[in-house]
Amino acid sequence: MPAGSCGEPIHPLFQPANSVLAFDAYATAEAIGEPELVLLAGSYISDGTLAACRKLAERGSAVIAGSWLLPEGLRRPQRWSGGGCWLPVDNLLGEDARELAAPYLGSDRLWRQRFGEHAIRISPADEHGFSLHFEIE
């Protein structure tokens, strides 16, 4: 029986990271800005958002993309001299994705988000991170 078919959680909610923003499949280059790390996940991504993320990789961002979102021509890893990286993966929690994302992740028990002068600290509320605890600074 597949994981999650009997109501068990498939993956935890907690993943430590700092200053993460989430966008939908139609995010514009202007909205995305110039982040150091981009994770492309979900079930669909628009051509415009995909092109904007590809340009970010070419300009120096690390981009990790679920291979199922990509056309065949973008399913190969690539690095640029300016430090940018395009990494298609079959598993966003796999070793290759974790290795590339490691410099951008928070401690293994804390996830921080900053919104202007306010910050939120998120930590796992249970052993495996299926429940979360939030603190506002």
The predicted pLDDT at position 93 comes to 84
pLDDT at 85 over 60: yes
Whole-angstrom distance, CA of residue 36 vs CA of residue 32: 11
62 and 92 in a common domain: yes
Print the domain residue range for 78.
Answer: 19-104
pLDDT mean over 38-63:
95
pLDDT mean over 12-29:
78
Average model confidence (pLDDT) for the chain?
A: 87
pLDDT mean over 75-98:
94
DSSP state of 1: -
The predicted pLDDT at position 21 comes to 73
pLDDT mean over 62-85:
95
| Total number of domains constituting the chain | 2
85 and 41 in a common domain: yes
Q: What is the pTM of this model?
A: 0.72
Are 27 and 52 in contact, with CB atoms under 8 Å apart?
yes
pLDDT mean over 25-44:
92
Whole-angstrom distance, CA of residue 82 vs CA of residue 124: 36
The SS3 of residue 29 is helix
120 and 75 in a common domain: no
